[in-house]
Amino acid sequence: MLALLQQDYYWPQMGDEVQEYVKTCLTYQQDKVERKKKAGLLQPLPACKRSWVSVSLDFITVNVPNMGNSPRAISFSEEWKQNIDVAHSYLDKAAKRMEKHADKNRRSQEFIVGDKVMVKLLPLDRPNIRRPELKPKAAGKQVAKSILNDRVITVSRKHHQEYLVKWQGYTEEENTWERAADLSAYNNKIEAYHKQKLMRASTA
């Protein structure tokens, strides 16, 4: 944003004022790409320490014969308990390794009751629908009347020049931002807009 402003404007302490404005701009804070680590450390689920802590259903069954109080049954029970203890230790180690690996790209952040936070809603995954190239004869009533403004947007790390178009026969609320590549039929209006922009800058 600062680089774009510096193309046409300058005033003392320009960088500090632009930085302060960006920090308090709701639209920018909602749309900007987050460059910090994700907030919140991983909280792995604890391994169950005893029976019936967690109940689930699966279709793999093992039929264990009922051997009563025989020495074989006691030996089997002790071996089963040892296997369970070993499984618990491996689960704990796996959870710690997973937590350590995940927290490398995350940061600790805690909130208290009353804190205000900004929630970002991710856009739905829908196909990128773009307006076809507009031509005065093919577009019917949708003919560009004038170019009102311009901007540069970044999509997938690529910069795209866009122009705010006033359409003939439409209200101000129906002005739309169009990419320069889609406005090749109106190069004369784009050139006229840039000439007026230079004149305004020179007289300012």
pTM of the model: 0.34
Element (H, E) at 81: helix 71-102
Task: Work out the average pLDDT over 127-139.
Answer: 44
DSSP-assigned letters across all residues of 98-135 = HHHHHGGGEE-----TT---PPPPPPP------PPPP-
pLDDT over 80 (residue 105): yes
pLDDT tens per residue, range 31-88: 777 777 877 888 887 777 777 677 666 655 555 555 556 777 778 778 878 888 888 8
pLDDT tens per residue, range 160-195: 889 999 888 888 888 888 888 888 888 899 999 998
Contact in structure between 160 and 151 (CB atoms under 8 Å):
no
